[in-house]
Amino acid sequence: MNVLRSFYLVVRRDPLLMTCAVFVLVVTTLAIWGVNHTGYDANQISNASLQWPSRAHWFGTDLFGRDLLTRTLYGARFSLLIAAAATAISLGVGVSYGMISGYIGGRVDNLMMRVIEILYALPTLILVIVLVATLEDPATRLLQSMGFRGVQPRVVLLFVFIGLTEWLTMARIIRGQVLVLRQQVYVQSSFALGQSHVKILWRHLLPNLSGIILVYLTLTIPAAMLDESFLSFLGLGVQAPKASWGTLVSEAAGLINPIHSYWWMLLFPGAMMALTLLALNFLGDGLRDAFDPRSSGRQ
């Protein structure tokens, strides 16, 4: 609640940030609720193949005569879902890793930071490609044994592994903050009063990190979204008939030819995605300027 409140306090001051926040909110609402209210089914094939945008089909139709507006919103669902889930994973891993490393300090800290350096120097997305392409069978079995039948294993693999690639920066920043915070008098004194380590981390350090967590959370969502679209574009992401923005753009890519221009196929999903990413990046930048003024301008 605290985090949401500080988010609102920052955003309220700047009309541009407000616009971005509203835009993201609108896209999310449309993705969740709007898909069922366009008058078309996202997977319904019709004879009206590759039609120009018109009053009946605002964004036109695709190769199979599906309404592109519905498809774009339907794709938004998966793009947003995977980005949000991946961000949650990277948040959990990054924050706990950074907090533990910074709080314990010394040798452990040194080792944990060395691990991060090594991971930074790895071709992580390349490894994610290999992991997603090869682990589909075990993932399917695991999901079935857990009773999830309607879930695509790919989707789960995507957000787990994208989540596991995007936590490094978060861990580093959190660790740096914890190193400073744990020297503060109030932390020292609560330790002297016999507070346990877990409670100090949870009660005293975490609330003080919420601003910075919020900033990197906002910046991780677009990064995860880009990763997902990259994998989906290569055919390693969400599988048909389900769609994400990446697969929609890759469908458009297959239709580029010199004779016919199916510009709406590329323009609408592409623009929707770019605008959402822009809005999220804008929010992240704005929040960083507010919560972490010293780092403004960097990266």
Partner 1 sequence: MAAIIIRRLLQAIPVLFIIVSLTFVLMHNAPGSPFTTERHIPAPIMAELEKKYHLHGTFAQQYGAYLGDLLHGDLGLSTQYRNRTVNEIIGQALPVSMVLGTLAYAFALLAGTTLGGLAAVRQGRPRDRLIVLAALLGISIPNFVLALLCIRVFAIDLNLLPVAGWGSLDQIVLPAFCLSVPFIASITRLTRGGLLEVLRLDFIRTARAKGLSETAVLFRHALKVAILPVVGYSGPAVAGVLTGSIVVETIFGIPGIGPFFVNSVLNRDPFMTCGVVLVFGLFLILCNLATDILYFVIDRRVNLQ
Helices marked H in 254-262:
none
For partner 1, the closer of residues 47 and 299 by Cβ is: 299
- Residue 125 binds partner 1, judged by CB under 8 A: yes
Among 4, 121, 185, 240, binds partner 1 (CB under 8 A): 121
Residues 225-264 that bind partner 1 (CB under 8 A): 226, 229-230, 233-236, 246, 249-250, 252-253, 256-258, 261, 263
Q: At what angle do helices 263-291 and 2-13 cross, to 10 degrees?
A: 100
Q: What is the b/e burial string over 90-101, where b = at least 16 CB atoms within 10 angstroms of the residue's CB?
A: bbebbbebbbbb
- Residue 142 binds partner 1, judged by CB under 8 A: no
- Residue 14 binds partner 1, judged by CB under 8 A: no
CB of 116 to partner 1, least distance (A): 12
> Phi and psi (nearest 5°) for 56?
-75, -40
For partner 1, the closer of residues 67 and 228 by Cβ is: 228
Neighbours of 139 (CB within 10 A): 19
Among 48, 281, 289, 292, binds partner 1 (CB under 8 A): 281
Q: At what angle do helices 153-165 and 136-145 cross, to 10 degrees?
A: 110
| CB-CB contact of 265 with 251 (8 Å) | yes
- Residue 107 binds partner 1, judged by CB under 8 A: no
At 139, list the tokens: 């993932």
For partner 1, the closer of residues 42 and 277 by Cβ is: 277
For partner 1, the closer of residues 207 and 254 by Cβ is: 254
Q: Which stretch binds partner 1 (CB under 8 A): 60-68, 194-202, 206-214, 266-274?
A: 266-274
CB of 205 to partner 1, least distance (A): 28
Among 44, 134, 184, 188, binds partner 1 (CB under 8 A): 134
Nearest in space to 217 (alpha carbons), one of 157, 273, 173: 173
| CB-CB contact of 224 with 161 (8 Å) | no
| CB-CB contact of 63 with 140 (8 Å) | no
Torsion of CA 246, 155, 62, 23, to 10 degrees: -60
- Report the interface residues with partner 1, using CB under 8 A: 118, 120-127, 129-131, 133-137, 222, 226, 229-230, 233-236, 246, 249-250, 252-253, 256-258, 261, 263, 266, 270, 273-275, 277-278, 281-282, 285, 296-299
